[in-house]
Structure 1
């Protein structure tokens, strides 16, 4: 018996080494600790399908990761030796082999052993092995032949799968399951036996869906299915009647829309992009840092995921899909603007999961119906999707005000079928250098938006010779849709919902959802070295600082951000101040000059303008300590009560513009905490009785306080400009559009006078957003003829400005506003 076991182990060892000469694997985070293994308990691995190659791969991974080996044996009470693994399914048939669920006797023996050994336990570790990770496609014989991840199988087919997909094999170890926790001693053995099998099968099915995704429909099959749905048939009838065309012509039009929209997701395109993008990212960036992806892996097994990233660059599409694929998750279906449906590029994107959407559905009910039905099909079948809630790429580096169209469509689809829970996944994508940043700043300064073309790709390839630093992908706190709706509008569960269900509360609920998602995107922000250096140098009048002074500023920033983290998922660079400077200098984003007193770092010309983009990425993180700093730079002393009062007045407007995370009550706690942290850093001084003082004006701490205050000062100046112009024009005199125009012109003039190289300082949308908040809070009303009317609250706001803005700034804004009015 021992001789036979020795031969078996020797043969297995030889086969394993031969197999691994070809097979290349990737695994999740595998250690006994992460899997919850207890070395004092017996470990038994569970594989879904009976396969020698799967077993050999498992044996290899256990050796690599120093885990108990599956070939080891355990002894039952009857003296029988059984291996520390078993298969859930067995092969049936000779030629047309298929796998059938068949629970092995091993589980019965283990349950029996537990009955006789009440102090012992056995841990089951489910292991999934994916050869190629390709989802099945209906009516695709080639995939059925070569893909091993689905139910039809045989030895020859497994050999082909190993040869074709062996270099792209993924091994996933599930968390250890204590068998005694599953077994109920009060139940008969047969029921316990079935319960264990059911739990394991559910685990394997959910994991497969999260890694591979649901079975795909052939694109033609999906398009035909859309056209045959009752909602599209009704839309076709309506279009035929309203447009005066035949039903056949309206059907043809609907089919054309469906063809224009629908993705043609193919695994071959994903594998192609995996190879190309691996080369591309290594050429363009020094690495891709991924944070907080692990929680998604369990969530993807039970939820339909909707990824909602911020939008900074055209390559966001590719980066997120690439990261998810590398993390062992299904790349999502991506909503892409119709402008990207270019020759060659559009085909590649479509086959990689992109579906195309027009900028507007207005006046085209048939197109709207087809798109709604397509989205419903994706969500109801459990496909993960992705879209950018901002609508377009941010030209300023800030998170833009979300568009509500796709969110509304998602909500309405969920109302129709909510059997599987949906979770929105906010994603922060950050770059240390953005490919298109030069184009963005030109557009902000008035240049026409450039139409996308194939030439842009050539320019991108040409840019590969430049250094772009690192890219960051950080997954934020999920928004569970059902929980969100329960909180916002509990009646949603009890109302009868038809295909055209569109309640009156949909619009405000969608608005709340969009704001929450934007806040959680910002909550996942990454503060990288470029952000830090940009924030420091752009706070200086001439964008320059001596090396030692700059290091001191960076050290202060880092201390503050680590002492008071913005959120539990936000990330701050681990580099020291010296390392940050050297790193940003290598990226050619800062210049160094030497004089007799040492090194000076400076932002020059267009680089200074570009750095405003990277500062704005993290402006929201610095907003509250900067606001507090403004108060203490302009006031020798101030009470805690007064700090809280003034911050409370400004907070709703800052929150709306920067998508800050806290409600009003939580915000007050945040301010108190910041006062404590800033006092500890000696930036302000407390007397212990609720009164705070600024540090000595000739001290280093006061210089640090002044620099920190400048992060948010331009935002406050814009607010003051708008209020000054409103008062200058008079109540009931000016329309909102004219006030926005005047405010933008005033900001441009102030920018020229003070040399502010920040194009977003006079961004029209920021003035519009502020005025909308004034109206929303009923500080400003609109008359029946469209004029803005206001009362004493607006005038009182100008009286508060002296506590936040320097006298020369207030005077300059007031004088310039008066001249502009006279002109």
Structure 2
């Protein structure tokens, strides 16, 4: 680069340093992209713009990547380190792109061992998708003037998106080295950048009234309006007005400016409330969006924070914030209008008895899918009060499936999302509700009271589970499902309800498969297993190490995240949350829980109970026998496993149990918690206490099963409601009922049912 150009770029960079604050996507780009530092890098941009190039340069220099303005020297030749697909703001390939690419291919022909990493990059100033049938609100007088106003207004909201690298050598070997490859690459690059833009900013937003007019003109809603008028004996005009009011109640009114403003607020808030937000497997979601899939996010529901946290994470992962199905209970002033501007659409708890409402809602959701907007809904229906996943509500999932069948829209992919916290601000309220307190209706006063509870929330976790393509699922579950497309309007296919139920269970399993173990839920698990909820620091550290070793050496799934910290660090982190009491007795530190604290932290233990239930069950069986074979352990677990699988959404099949249980036995032997002699497993007397703490993790559940089976054996004709009521009473009267009904009797009784 000549001296004059250096001076020119330095002068141009001065205002950019003030106006532009860019963020890389993905944030951990060096890890995700896997760039080889020994191979040269060629940056490919969609179009040439000096501001874009200098913004890219800033990000590259900050991450020790080659300067895009410095020429690449190979075999005595100098070539630009960047190539722009087009000169203007439109991605129409021009001759210069093809010429430069041919120069690189010529170098490869001379030196076949040469490999260049092609790195597509998109620089975006702002992420406004605009409105349908409206021209973008930019100044059109001069390109330079337009860019200046863009930088002034959107410079602080700039993203530099790095796509997956492409090997020049692999490209040349696969496609050849003639002139046609440059033309083909130009077309592929143009499509790539268009898809990338759609992935980051999404399709244009609808004009709300135009959307309502389109919905009202649909045959399905027209028929529902006529039925409403006939049943309620009102005029068609009045029924049509009712449908319009329902649309006003349901539909979102998302605003990019509101999203931008909330980004500033949430960014400030997360930095003060959370010690960090851990995100895993976001790359798989970006690949789906890049491939043109219609994405439906299906997260677990722990807190009102879930709405905000997931949208915030997606925004910073370079993905479009989704349209969110929110309970109509949140549609109060001022929360309702705010949530609506941020992408929420509102749904009633029940559709029963209101055919017009169900029709309007189904058509609205189908319209979102057909326009390509990503959607988010909570399949549990409401927030979990216990910390475990709730039984799924299949209504909105059924609507999703029927929308795909009726409208023939883009492939829909469900993305399970595990959201976890080290502190959930509603836990105390959940505990009161479980004790019988009436749930308070959401209101402005309650929102203000909730803000007062905001304090140190520890770490937040957002883990994206294994995506589930509806097309692939139906091809496997109902191979003839395409034949039902034409008939779905007339009647529901016979396979639909079983498919939806099975699909819902699969989603819940995949949410649990992506769980996050953390300091809070691991410490809570250990302390709740101890008598009087107290452990010395040494005992607690020993138990934390036991849990960590189990999760690392016999992982529940490869998607479960386990802390990469030592037990001492986890304990210090948990103590900083002020949920445990630290006492000193005879020179020892004792960590303990009060009765009230013990009730509250069961929520966090339940978050990961499915990860440790099988090792706890193995430990419990071994403790209850002086010696037992592996085959008998497997047999006893297999008898009650169907109940555990259904309750905790475990992913192991019955056929997988033997190998998993054998691996757990080997791990417990490795940790010297149990011994094996003459093919008999028995507890190690030297490490009996940590084994007892591990076994206690299953005791409450075994206790409930024992009570239930005992009641069924003595009252074979008892109805479900009476069984639940009696079982709860017994549980309160006999808190240590497991002493009265030992495990072997539980197994014997369980095998009858």
TM bin, normalised by shorter chain, reads over 0.9
Say whether the 8 Å CA contact 1:262–1:355 is kept in structure 2.
Answer: yes
TM-align CA RMSD: 2.7
Q: CA deviation at 1:14?
A: 2.5
Superposed counterparts of 1:83-98, under 5 Å:
83-91=80-88
Q: Is the alpha carbon distance of 1:447 and 1:71 closer, same or farther for their aligned partners in structure 2, counting shifts above 3 Å?
A: same
Superposed counterparts of 1:376-775, under 5 Å:
376-418=366-408, 420-464=410-454, 466-498=455-487, 500=489, 502-596=492-586, 598-687=588-677, 690-696=679-685, 699=686, 701-729=687-715, 731=716, 733-751=717-735
- Please list every run of 5 or more consecutive structure 2 residues that lacks an aligned counterpart in the other structure: none
Say whether the 8 Å CA contact 2:195–2:290 is kept in structure 1.
Answer: yes
- The CA distance in 2 between the partners of 1:190 and 1:498, in whole Å, is 51
What does residue 8 of structure 2 align with?
11
Secondary structure, counterpart of 1:570 in structure 2: coil
**Residues 707-716 or 212-221, more deviating:** 212-221
- The CA distance in 1 between the partners of 2:268 and 2:565, in whole Å, is 26
Secondary structure, counterpart of 2:349 in structure 1: coil
- The CA distance in 2 between the partners of 1:583 and 1:631, in whole Å, is 33
Given candidates 39, 55, 58, the residue that maps to 1:57 is 55
Q: CA deviation at 1:727?
A: 1.5
- The CA distance in 1 between the partners of 2:263 and 2:608, in whole Å, is 30
Structure 1 residues 576-623: Cα deviation after superposition (integer angstroms, max 9, x where no partner)? 333333322222211122222522221013111101111111111110
- The CA distance in 1 between the partners of 2:155 and 2:494, in whole Å, is 54
What does residue 282 of structure 1 align with?
271
What does residue 144 of structure 1 align with?
137
Q: CA deviation at 1:418?
A: 4.7
- The CA distance in 2 between the partners of 1:124 and 1:470, in whole Å, is 36
Say whether the 8 Å CA contact 2:105–2:177 is kept in structure 1.
Answer: no
Structure 1 residues 663-716: Cα deviation after superposition (integer angstroms, max 9, x where no partner)? 1111222111111111111112112x53212223xx3x2111111111111111
| Residue 46 (str. 1) matches residue 44 (str. 2) | yes
What does residue 66 of structure 1 align with?
64
Select the structure with the greater relative contact order (CA < 8 A; seq sep ≥ 6): 2
- The CA distance in 2 between the partners of 1:433 and 1:76, in whole Å, is 55
Q: Is the alpha carbon distance of 1:37 and 1:287 closer, same or farther for their aligned partners in structure 2, counting shifts above 3 Å?
A: closer
What does residue 183 of structure 2 align with?
194
Structure 1 residues 63-103: Cα deviation after superposition (integer angstroms, max 9, x where no partner)? 222223332346899x9965332322343xxxxxx736132
Given candidates 127, 131, 139, the residue that maps to 1:133 is 127
Q: Is the alpha carbon distance of 1:448 and 1:106 closer, same or farther for their aligned partners in structure 2, counting shifts above 3 Å?
A: closer
Secondary structure, counterpart of 1:67 in structure 2: coil
Secondary structure, counterpart of 1:538 in structure 2: helix
What does residue 776 of structure 1 align with?
none
Say whether the 8 Å CA contact 2:673–2:688 is kept in structure 1.
Answer: yes
- The CA distance in 1 between the partners of 2:705 and 2:177, in whole Å, is 73
Given candidates 164, 186, 198, the residue that maps to 1:175 is 164
What does residue 339 of structure 1 align with?
329
Secondary structure, counterpart of 2:665 in structure 1: helix
Q: CA deviation at 1:215?
A: 1.5
Q: Is the alpha carbon distance of 1:184 and 1:643 closer, same or farther for their aligned partners in structure 2, counting shifts above 3 Å?
A: closer
Given candidates 250, 273, 290, the residue that maps to 1:301 is 290
**Residues 412-421 or 298-307, more deviating:** 412-421
- The CA distance in 1 between the partners of 2:246 and 2:297, in whole Å, is 24
Q: Is the alpha carbon distance of 1:481 and 1:685 closer, same or farther for their aligned partners in structure 2, counting shifts above 3 Å?
A: same
Given candidates 87, 90, 104, the residue that maps to 1:99 is 90
What does residue 255 of structure 1 align with?
244
Secondary structure, counterpart of 1:534 in structure 2: helix
Say whether the 8 Å CA contact 2:553–2:667 is kept in structure 1.
Answer: yes
Structure 1 residues 276-315: Cα deviation after superposition (integer angstroms, max 9, x where no partner)? 1122223322222222222222222122211111111111
- The CA distance in 2 between the partners of 1:497 and 1:36, in whole Å, is 47
What does residue 148 of structure 2 align with?
159
Secondary structure, counterpart of 2:324 in structure 1: strand
- The CA distance in 1 between the partners of 2:607 and 2:550, in whole Å, is 18
Q: Is the alpha carbon distance of 1:723 and 1:41 closer, same or farther for their aligned partners in structure 2, counting shifts above 3 Å?
A: closer
Secondary structure, counterpart of 1:47 in structure 2: strand
**Residues 240-249 or 357-366, more deviating:** 240-249
- The CA distance in 2 between the partners of 1:36 and 1:607, in whole Å, is 45
Secondary structure, counterpart of 1:393 in structure 2: coil
Q: CA deviation at 1:642?
A: 0.8
Secondary structure, counterpart of 2:596 in structure 1: helix
- The CA distance in 2 between the partners of 1:489 and 1:598, in whole Å, is 62
- The CA distance in 1 between the partners of 2:161 and 2:263, in whole Å, is 19
Say whether the 8 Å CA contact 2:93–2:187 is kept in structure 1.
Answer: no
Q: Is the alpha carbon distance of 1:710 and 1:196 closer, same or farther for their aligned partners in structure 2, counting shifts above 3 Å?
A: same
Q: CA deviation at 1:515?
A: 0.9
Secondary structure, counterpart of 2:531 in structure 1: coil
Q: Is the alpha carbon distance of 1:112 and 1:184 closer, same or farther for their aligned partners in structure 2, counting shifts above 3 Å?
A: farther
**Residues 59-68 or 37-46, more deviating:** 37-46
Say whether the 8 Å CA contact 2:326–2:345 is kept in structure 1.
Answer: yes
| Residue 111 (str. 1) matches residue 102 (str. 2) | yes
Q: CA deviation at 1:113?
A: 5.5
Q: Is the alpha carbon distance of 1:241 and 1:499 closer, same or farther for their aligned partners in structure 2, counting shifts above 3 Å?
A: farther
Secondary structure, counterpart of 1:572 in structure 2: coil
Say whether the 8 Å CA contact 1:86–1:104 is kept in structure 2.
Answer: no
**Residues 590-599 or 256-265, more deviating:** 590-599
Say whether the 8 Å CA contact 2:405–2:485 is kept in structure 1.
Answer: no
Say whether the 8 Å CA contact 2:705–2:746 is kept in structure 1.
Answer: no
What does residue 270 of structure 1 align with?
259
Q: Is the alpha carbon distance of 1:279 and 1:106 closer, same or farther for their aligned partners in structure 2, counting shifts above 3 Å?
A: closer
**Residues 22-31 or 420-429, more deviating:** 22-31
Secondary structure, counterpart of 2:296 in structure 1: strand
Q: CA deviation at 1:637?
A: 0.7
Say whether the 8 Å CA contact 1:43–1:125 is kept in structure 2.
Answer: yes
What does residue 783 of structure 1 align with?
none
Q: Is the alpha carbon distance of 1:153 and 1:433 closer, same or farther for their aligned partners in structure 2, counting shifts above 3 Å?
A: farther
Given candidates 196, 202, 223, the residue that maps to 1:234 is 223
Secondary structure, counterpart of 2:90 in structure 1: strand
Q: Is the alpha carbon distance of 1:189 and 1:108 closer, same or farther for their aligned partners in structure 2, counting shifts above 3 Å?
A: farther
Q: CA deviation at 1:527?
A: 1.3
What does residue 789 of structure 1 align with?
none
Q: CA deviation at 1:181?
A: 4.3
Q: CA deviation at 1:749?
A: 2.3
- The CA distance in 1 between the partners of 2:119 and 2:23, in whole Å, is 18
- How many residues in Structure 1 have an aligned counterpart in Structure 2? 742
Q: CA deviation at 1:179?
A: 4.2
- Please list every run of 5 or more consecutive structure 1 residues that lacks an aligned counterpart in the other structure: 92-97, 757-797, 811-823
